[in-house]
Structure 1
Amino acid sequence: MLAGLMPEQASELAPRVDAIFLGLTAISAFIVLLVVGLVVAFSIRFRRGSKANRDALPNLVSREFEIGWTAATLFVFVFIFWWAASAEIRAFVAPKDAIEVHVVAKQWMWKTQSANGVREINELHVPVGAPVRLILTSQDVIHAFYVPAFRLKRDALPGQQTEAWFKATKTGTFHLLCTEYCGTDHARMLGRIVVMEPEDYARWLSAQPEGDDLAHQGERLFTARGCAGCHAPGSAVHAPDLAGLWGRAVQLAGGRTVTADGAYIRDSILQPKRDVVAGYEPIMPSYAGLLSDGEIQELTAYIRALGSGSRSSRRLGEPPLSSRVPGGPEARSPALVPGAPVTDTPTPAGPATRP
């Protein structure tokens, strides 16, 4: 009976969210019935003109009763907090093998791009049973990425990146909505998530127009925007080497240490003077307004592809990335198809490093 009142469940997270919702509803209904029942019972028993002993109530509500009731309420509160928080924390931590999809919201559409370069507008095709990691940002105002069947909702914020992930459990087409009022045509900001069998998804993927993945696009942009002029090993400008930067601890002027992740790289591109690397002068110009969110994602993917501090990486003077990635620029990432062997094809996350 309750199933007909709830949206369809189509993700791994949906049953947990529904269980929490129904649990909270049941606890709330019990408390309401208890309070209403006591009010009605006391109103009848201790009504005006009643011969009931009115001194019995203070004796009934003893100190021990108050302590027990308060302790029980605290226990229920802590349990509900733990139960709900555990589901929310899971929703933020994507599996390491998740398909990475960048989502850019703008008035009034959703633009998605997978790590292998496939772009879509107001649509996202994914395979069933595979975790999908979403990296969201907005080009203008606050939007909210909401898929009712997945019980997934996450804000897309201008100038920031937020993340979410899901694993679809059934095939079909599911509504994608914006649930943050974002302007005149907010109600028309609609899309759809198409969940396919892995074999069908592989065929769909191979039928898409050939194109470079994010890392290869970022490599070209890195040169076109003049980044290599400062960050190349042979440059006369004293700027950090980006090879092996990803995931490494970076010592900043002032003594703080940060991890070189997507958020750090994005800030380095847009606000390079905020956190300056120790030993370097704050000479890098800001690219705020000069690079789109999509271009920042491409640059981040390229820097990530240069390697992390935990493994060997290509220096900027070596052969280009396209000559090192199996299949070249047009290669589709097998990691996007469940069951296919995983390669070292790079994936994106945020912007470039500061001087």
Structure 2
Amino acid sequence: MNGYLPSATAEGREIDFLILALALVSCAVLALVFALIFLYMVRYRAESDIYRGAPGRKTWRFEISWTVATLAVFFVLFVWGGDLYVRLFQPPADALQIYVVGKQWMWKVEHQGGQREINALHIPINRPIQLVMTSEDVIHDFSVPAFRIKHDVLPGRYESLWFRIETPGTFQLFCTQLCGVGHYSMTGDVIAMTQPEFETWLSGGAAPGAREDMAAAGKALFTTHGCSGCHGEGGVGGTPATTGVSAPVLAGLFGRSVKLRTGATMTADENFIRDCILTPDKTPIAGYPPIMPSFLGQIGEEDVLRLIAYIKSLRSRSRT
């Protein structure tokens, strides 16, 4: 054992190279500084008769060269790291979305087709995977060392990260944020498999009767909780003539810019829709009366994710 865990993703290897570059440059600067300290200790010792006059005229070129050279090197590393950070948080448009909910002390996973897992995550290789994550209780941290990913999972909002695995295998998943007495047991496995194997797993990856398409489950919740009474069947919007109230159109909402009554503009992403469902007073939409009820405490995080999946599916249908 050499103590090095190989990265299973291309992005992880780039992170390794960046850290190695930072370490090498830092060690080079440290070595140079200590070498100069040792040189001056010997050269300018008390009994040395070396000339010590006019230090400003003798050293300014060296000081400027040293400062500019180190600034340039570290600026290159800064740009590299900034570019990598931005790319790591901009998932490709064709990324496969999987929803993750952290809860003391387990990871609950749900796929678009309704397949559910506890402390396990099955994914295909050679395909970008986007995780949309939230917590039901306290702060957790989703970490897979082999992918070089580590991201806080926060209650009350959605966090997102993405990765692409190149080789099949089983990789350990940890919570790396102390979250209570059972923190040590909040572990799991990420199982990467070929696309045909993944399709096979999807077809039988849930207990009988436990699987239902997330959008379909969201549609049922949309009706059960009375959302269609104001927003209309299929989220077509409500008017006093059709539903008795004026309510926004939900078909095509996801990803659009929405103007609030405060004059601010927001993008209708997962966090925005979640706030509209649970805390509508935070997102009053311009042009509509503030009559949207709060479902905070009535709908769990998993059901909120299903409602969001349904609203996102309305976007797809509205564009076909």
Normalised to the residue count of structure 1, the TM-score between the two structures is 0.83
Aligned equivalent of 1:79: 76
Task: Report how far residue 217 of structure 1 moved.
Answer: 0.4
Q: What pairs with 1:138-287 in structure 2 (closer than 5 Å)? A: 138-209=135-206, 211-232=211-232, 233=238, 234-287=242-295
Q: Which amino acid aligns with 2:284?
A: V
Aligned sequence identity (%) = 43
Greater shift after overlay, 124-133 or 257-266?
Answer: 257-266
Which deviations, in whole Å up to 9, do the C-alpha atoms of 1:246-293 show, x marking residues without a partner?
A: 222222213222222212111111221122111211111211222111
Task: Report how far residue 111 of structure 1 moved.
Answer: 0.8
- Answer whether contact 1:247 1:309 (CA < 8 A) is retained: no
Selected match of 2:26 from 28, 52, 57: 28
Per the alignment, in what secondary structure is the counterpart of residue 192 of structure 2? strand
Task: Report how far residue 80 of structure 1 moved.
Answer: 1.2
Greater shift after overlay, 101-110 or 43-52?
Answer: 43-52
- Answer whether contact 1:147 1:153 (CA < 8 A) is retained: yes
Aligned equivalent of 2:36: 38
- Answer whether contact 1:246 1:308 (CA < 8 A) is retained: no
Q: Tell which has more relative contact order, 1 or 2 (C-alpha 8 A, sep 6+).
A: 1
Aligned residues: 309
Query: Which has more helix, going by share of residues?
Result: 2
CA RMSD of aligned residues (A): 1.8
Q: Which amino acid aligns with 1:213?
A: D
Per the alignment, in what secondary structure is the counterpart of residue 13 of structure 1? helix
Greater shift after overlay, 303-312 or 178-187?
Answer: 303-312
Provide structure 1 residue ranges, at least 5 long, that are not aligned to the other structure.
313-355
- Answer whether contact 1:143 1:182 (CA < 8 A) is retained: yes
Normalised to the residue count of structure 2, the TM-score between the two structures is 0.91
Which deviations, in whole Å up to 9, do the C-alpha atoms of 1:59-114 show, x marking residues without a partner?
A: 4312x333333222322232111111111111111111111100101111111111
Per the alignment, in what secondary structure is the counterpart of residue 280 of structure 2? coil
Q: Which amino acid aligns with 1:17?
A: I
- Answer whether contact 2:116 2:205 (CA < 8 A) is retained: no
2-structure distance, mates of 1:131, 1:247: 20
2-structure distance, mates of 1:21, 1:5: 16
2-structure distance, mates of 1:173, 1:163: 22
Provide structure 2 residue ranges, at least 5 long, that are not aligned to the other structure.
233-237
